[in-house]
Chain A
Amino acid sequence: MRLFSRRRKQATDTNGLGATLIALRLDDGDLAPAQSTVVIFNAAGHARRAAVGKVSCEQGEMAFCFHPGPYTVDLVPFAAAPEWGLRLRFVVDAANPRVSQQRFDLYLYSETAGRLELSDFAAAVQMALQAELAQGALDLPPCTSLEEWHAFRAGLNQLMYMRYGVTVDDCVPVDVGDEIDYATILQARAAQAAEAERAAIPADTAGTAASTVATPTGLATCLPVGQMSVAEQDARALRRLFLELPALSRELRLLALPEGLDIFQQQQSMLLRLGMAALNVNTMPSLAWAAPDQPLPAADQTLRCAQALIAQTALDEAWPLLARLQLASPEQWPSLLEEADRICANLETGLSLRRTTYVPRTEPSL
């Protein structure tokens, strides 16, 4: 039977692999280009790396191929300073034989749908880096001294390896003023503000209907519109939590702890909480139903999805925290465990609000 399906299928487009494309999903029978690496995930999500050539999958298996690089991207570490950037060169390293699951394989399996373009990857890395810098996990202050730069580099390397599974080859500060011009950005903002003002003037004369827009209550109408629908966002967040929480707990369990019963107990309680969160995710009720035969209104679905996204954000913060714990000296551990407590609490809050039972709103009666 597979003979016929193979003949009909178009060959997958592998152009740009290694330049603008990091990885893409292949189908059974596709030809993986030379110098790339093929990863095959079985139905249970376990990965194995296969030889380059024609991909052959078993029932329920899924194949990706990626090019090890090197890739170069320009990142802007601070949104307020768009002309000062970092030029990052990274590679996807060969498989580490000491771990059972490669981090990059997990990243492909849990966060990549179809194709992993270099520009999308750079945008994700930039957001992660900006969040770390804003929270003070990494430090890149003005007039950075050499020691501060080395500390930043060490933190960045570990972050990139633990969060995305890529190895930073080189990272230098660059002046990206030739590509990004702050003056043009400011002029565009001024034009936008003028436009908004012009739009507001006729609305004001229209009367009371417009005055509600100015108050914060009008904000509920402009919820963020992503490319994904609410159901897709929710499913993606839950799938990521389902796949990554066990992997995260495994890495946390492997950490070398400093001496002291206190820290050991806190680590154990953190592992327990992550385990309970994983269980919570595995048994999460569906998004679209309030009860059997009772669909949930769309607005409440959006609220549920927002809670799942809070849990996903906590997961996004947990990987960098793991990277910091791996580099931490014994005196930094208490503050990092306090951070872990916060992340666990956010995860639990998001998940528990995601699964709260739906109570239809009723007007109070006398």
Chain B
Amino acid sequence: MTTISVSAVPANAECRSVLADGRILTVTASRRPRANRADVKCTAPNAPSIAERMQQVVRLARHTEARFDSRDQVMLSMDIVPAADERDWELAAVLADRMVRGLQPIQPTIAQGNSDAWHLGRVDGTVQVGEGAAPVDAVRITHLGALIGHADLSAAVSTVRTWFPLHSGGINDTLGWLEVSVFPLEAAARSEEDSITAPGLELTAQQEVKQTLNAARHFDGKALGRWRTVVRFGQPRFQGGSYQLALVMADRLARGREFVSRGRIIATGCSSAWHAGRVDTVDGRESKLELIFNQVNHGDRVLLPKDWQDCLPPGFAAGLRQKGATLACIDKIGMI
């Protein structure tokens, strides 16, 4: 019996990588029934050693996946041959292999990076999502799970990324991201706000970030004065406080004190009383809901203020569920 897995997944995927000499290499992946063949087959024109290396890299990177599926054979091919000592195409091969099997909800177009520990998912590279004409978003990643914001399980610094809707008048609406990195302090800090930095933000916004984290950690009860924290924003110039819920969730996840979603966390909400764990409503409901609905991927978790629950457009929750995401309208952070 020959079977091929999930039919909704495309049978082809491609990912590009820029070589050192400026040429652009395309890795194309396709899927077909396995039929007693090898799980991965790689070809590179006139370069069997590079094909062998590609197969090795892809197989090692598959060790980080939770779900093993032996029904498909994935064929990977390169259109041009990179130099023998060049390694930055490796990430493109790994991502193409994941995209063609439907494991990569965010589909990057250009990726470069390499790793000495693919079996741990570590990688040193950059990833761009979107075509050249659209605003290109180049993201630096240090492990494969970083594309959906997960913390690296083998790194000493715990880094978690979450997303929030940035409303800037219709066509330019995007999902902005923020990233919280924590590392334990040797000695307790004098005050919580000294141990938090947010480089690149203007002073008032920095102060707000510090106050939010400080208050939310008061609510947590077991986090004060123990962590050195760095907060980064993908787009440091914005107005308003609707990122606060995303910030608080990223902080809790980075400190290992929150359940982990399978995909990204997309949250909007602010609060005047984080020390009580309360979540208040924010403005721009219609446009933000529309943006979230268009951007959401399989496995994502959407967190909205409780007040929005009765004002959701008809079919919003069902539509999200259809896309494989889940929704919660909350008035309080923490367990249930």
**Contacts known (A79-B153, A82-B256, A346-B70); A134 close to B262, Cβ less than 8 A:** yes
A121 interfacial by beta-carbon distance below 8 Å: no
**Contacts known (A84-B256, A144-B336, A173-B335); A346 close to B56, Cβ less than 8 A:** no
Chain A contacts for B328, CB-based, 8 A: 141, 143-145, 148
Q: How many residues of B contact A (CB 8 A)?
A: 53
Chain A contacts for B6, CB-based, 8 A: 338
A298 interfacial by beta-carbon distance below 8 Å: no
Please pick, from A78, A131, A184, the residue contacting B259 in the complex, using a CB distance under 8 A.
A78
Question: From residue 28 to 86 of chain A, which have CB atoms closer than 8 A to chain B?
Answer: 77-84
B253 to chain A, nearest CB (A): 7
Q: Is A219's CB under 8 angstroms from B336's CB?
A: no
Chain B's closest residue to A84 (CB) is B257
Please pick, from A139, A140, A144, A186, the residue contacting B156 in the complex, using a CB distance under 8 A.
A186
B37 to chain A, nearest CB (A): 11
A310 interfacial by beta-carbon distance below 8 Å: yes
Chain A contacts for B1, CB-based, 8 A: 269, 273
A198 to chain B, nearest CB (A): 15
**Contacts known (A186-B157, A219-B119); A140 close to B226, Cβ less than 8 A:** no
Q: Is A80's CB under 8 angstroms from B151's CB?
A: yes
Choose, from B61-69, B204-212, B236-244, B280-288, the stretch at the interface. B61-69
- Interface 0/1 of B160-184, CB less than 8 Å to A: 0000000000000000000000011
Cα distance A62–B158 when bound, in Å? Answer: 50
If over half of A's interface residues share one DSSP class (helix, strand or loop), that class is named, otherwise mixed; here it is: helix
Question: From residue 23 to 49 of chain B, which have CB atoms closer than 8 A to chain A?
Answer: 34, 36
Chain B's closest residue to A314 (CB) is B68
A11 interfacial by beta-carbon distance below 8 Å: no
B116 interfacial by beta-carbon distance below 8 Å: yes
If over half of B's interface residues share one DSSP class (helix, strand or loop), that class is named, otherwise mixed; here it is: loop
Choose, from A106-114, A210-218, A231-239, A285-293, the stretch at the interface. A210-218
Question: From residue 1 to 25 of chain B, which have CB atoms closer than 8 A to chain A?
Answer: 1, 3, 5-6
B249 to chain A, nearest CB (A): 6
Chain B contacts for A83, CB-based, 8 A: 222, 255-257
- Interface 0/1 of A331-358, CB less than 8 Å to B: 0000000100110011001101000000
Chain A contacts for B256, CB-based, 8 A: 80-84, 182, 185
Q: Is A345's CB under 8 angstroms from B3's CB?
A: yes
A183 interfacial by beta-carbon distance below 8 Å: yes
B333 interfacial by beta-carbon distance below 8 Å: yes
B92 to chain A, nearest CB (A): 17
**Contacts known (A77-B259, A142-B265, A219-B119); A131 close to B326, Cβ less than 8 A:** no
Chain B contacts for A134, CB-based, 8 A: 66-67, 262
**Contacts known (A134-B262, A186-B183, A215-B116); A80 close to B153, Cβ less than 8 A:** yes
Cα distance A219–B70 when bound, in Å? Answer: 23
B167 to chain A, nearest CB (A): 22
Q: Is A142's CB under 8 angstroms from B262's CB?
A: no
Most B Cβ at <10 Å: residue of A79, A81, A338, A341? A81
Chain A's closest residue to B63 (CB) is A219
B275 interfacial by beta-carbon distance below 8 Å: no
Chain A contacts for B218, CB-based, 8 A: none
Q: Is B259's CB under 8 angstroms from A81's CB?
A: yes
Q: Is A189's CB under 8 angstroms from B154's CB?
A: yes
**Contacts known (A141-B326, A143-B303, A216-B56); A177 close to B66, Cβ less than 8 A:** no
**Contacts known (A135-B67, A310-B68); A142 close to B260, Cβ less than 8 A:** yes
Please pick, from A183, A217, A341, the residue contacting B227 in the complex, using a CB distance under 8 A.
A183
Chain A's closest residue to B160 (CB) is A80
A313 interfacial by beta-carbon distance below 8 Å: yes
Q: Is B336's CB under 8 angstroms from A173's CB?
A: yes
B201 interfacial by beta-carbon distance below 8 Å: no
Q: Is A142's CB under 8 angstroms from B301's CB?
A: yes
Chain B's closest residue to A145 (CB) is B328
Cα distance A91–B30 when bound, in Å? Answer: 49
B57 interfacial by beta-carbon distance below 8 Å: yes
Q: Is A142's CB under 8 angstroms from B67's CB?
A: no
B133 interfacial by beta-carbon distance below 8 Å: no
Chain B contacts for A175, CB-based, 8 A: 222, 257
Please pick, from A81, A149, A185, A349, the residue contacting B257 in the complex, using a CB distance under 8 A.
A81
Please pick, from A80, A131, A133, the residue contacting B150 in the complex, using a CB distance under 8 A.
A80
A202 interfacial by beta-carbon distance below 8 Å: no
Cα distance A173–B335 when bound, in Å? Answer: 7
- Interface 0/1 of A168-189, CB less than 8 Å to B: 0000010101000011111101
Please pick, from B71, B157, B183, B262, the residue contacting A136 in the complex, using a CB distance under 8 A.
B262
Please pick, from B5, B150, B258, B299, the residue contacting A142 in the complex, using a CB distance under 8 A.
B258
Q: Is A177's CB under 8 angstroms from B222's CB?
A: yes
Please pick, from A84, A139, A142, the residue contacting B303 in the complex, using a CB distance under 8 A.
A142
Please pick, from B154, B252, B326, the residue contacting A139 in the complex, using a CB distance under 8 A.
B326
Cα distance A260–B333 when bound, in Å? Answer: 44
Q: Is B259's CB under 8 angstroms from A142's CB?
A: yes
The 4 A-B pairs with the shortest beta carbon distances in the complex, nearest first, are A190-B156, A183-B184, A134-B66, A182-B256
Task: Supply 6 A–B pairs (Cβ within 8 Å), ascending by A.
Answer: A82-B256, A184-B184, A186-B184, A189-B156, A342-B69, A349-B34
Chain A residues proximal to chain B, CB less than 8 Å: 77-84, 131, 133-136, 139-146, 148-149, 173, 175, 177, 182-187, 189-190, 193, 214-217, 219, 269, 273, 310, 313, 338, 341-342, 345-346, 349-350, 352
15 further A-B contacts with Cβ under 8 Å, apart from A219-B119, A341-B5, are: A81-B260, A131-B66, A139-B326, A142-B253, A142-B259, A143-B330, A173-B336, A184-B184, A186-B156, A187-B156, A189-B156, A216-B119, A338-B5, A341-B3, A345-B69
